Chains A and B, each alone.
Chain A
């Protein structure tokens, strides 16, 4: 039940189809939308201005932007479709059973395995994590999922192995795997502690909303 704290924050995030009329009277969301446009405007301006001043470096930056934009165009839409299908087809009970409060060690392992699947960059993991959290996965498992997604990847390990040697790569991987679980639990404990009053407020708001 401890995940309800995020639900009201993510109402618009996950239940995208139904939030049309809700958007109008939610000023916090509007504020956030302006922030990301501002962030985009600032970074794009900086990129363009710097590229005009330092032409050689600008060409490198341009190539990098092009490569990542291509990756985004090829991966992001299909991951969003996957997220949408997940939101529609997988019911809450299933997520709670496999990744929720009572899922125990199996839940940790499943979360880690989901994270290590060969997938795209970090930013595609956030909406997936949000949908899991909304459907009742526990915070520790979401943390493990995101950590695995970020740093336990086979291609990454192979490059590390090649350049840093097996001792360095294996030790770092082993320590990461060993420490991600206690980290997930710590994040969960602190997440739940401070937010209890907030959680209850959100939960009642949800009942009224649903």
Chain B
């Protein structure tokens, strides 16, 4: 179990105990809400895991490198941002990849756009976000995140150039 999982579980266990001491009825109700949410989310979350497996297992890093390192200018930034939105790569893999791309001569803007959309936008999570928060909110949030990622990339390119 990871450190994060231990911290979260311990914290929730304490909360649950306090709740149980204060009111059994309310605690029971909270657990019913939790169970229903878990049932509701299960298929989407399992699908997300399958897609993450597909992406990490079957999208070759060389292909990512050719997209980000290949094009330059605003087209390269857009391509990198789009790729970062669609892909799901854990940080521990993404940053070494980004570093190697920089060493190979890829532009700062494209790299910044790629990393920002990678962390900020989860195309993989979109169906679940729509389900939980509504299509209107999900599309607005992801659309603006994409825009902000492009702005961040352009500013970084200007400042670090």
Contacts and interface: CB of A to CB of B under 8 A. Distances in A.
Interface of A: 5-6, 9-10, 12-17, 19, 32-33, 35-37, 39-40, 42-44, 46-47, 50-51, 54, 57-58, 60-62, 64-65, 68-69, 71-72, 74-85, 87-89, 118-120, 122-123, 126-127, 129-130, 133, 139, 142-143, 146-147, 150-151, 155-156, 159-160, 162-164, 167-168, 171-172, 175-176, 179-180, 183, 186-187, 190-191, 194-195
B53 A47 contact: yes
B74 interface: no
Which of A33, A80, A147, A190 counts the most B-chain CB atoms under 10 A from its CB? Answer: A80
Nearest to A54: B58
Interface residues of B, number: 80
Contact of B40 (A16, A58, A64, A81): A16
Interface of B: 1-2, 4-5, 7-9, 11-13, 15-16, 19, 26-27, 29-38, 40-41, 43-54, 56-58, 91-92, 95-96, 98-99, 102, 108, 111-112, 115-116, 119-122, 125, 127-129, 131-134, 136-137, 140-141, 144-145, 147-148, 151-152, 155-156, 159-160
Contacts, number: 263
Given A36-B47, A168-B160, A147 B145 contact: yes
